[in-house]
A = this chain, B = another copy of it.
Amino acid sequence: MSNYPINDAEELAALFKALSNPHRLKIFIGLARCCRPGQACAPSMRACVGELGDGLGLAPSTISHHLKELRHAGLIHMKRAGQHVECWADPEALARLSEFFHFAGGDASELAAFAEAHDKTMGEQR
């Protein structure tokens, strides 16, 4: 985290904005599930627009709108396959996001313990 280039903030915020809607996030998680080394987002694993809408209770036009947002953010890709349109997560975008938070991983629990101990003695604002 300490060396992350701060001028990327605008671009990064756009990624977060795309994931800030619960419906869009669910769509993205659904796509990202099959997008990993080994399964490798093979065409057979990709979801089409209609499938992504199932269980979300949204109109097709709304799903389409959300997919467009995810695509413009560079989080997913789409390609026509006959009557359907295949969707899959962009592994590079996933990697970028992973990298951003990487610095906070690992020993963060140590830090959390410190902060908690501090708050107990000092009293935290509500």
Contacts and interface: CB of A to CB of B under 8 A. Distances in A.
Nearest to A111: B91
Contacts of A80: 125
For chain A, the bracket of interface size reads: 35 or more
A101 B92 contact: no
Contacts of A26: 6, 9
Interface of A: 1-2, 4, 6, 9-10, 12-13, 16-17, 19-22, 24-26, 29-30, 32-37, 40-41, 43, 77-80, 85, 88, 90-92, 94-95, 97-112, 114-115, 118-119, 122-125
Which 8 A-B pairs rank lowest in CB-CB distance, beginning with the nearest?
A94-B104, A17-B20, A98-B101, A91-B111, A37-B107, A95-B108, A98-B105, A16-B20
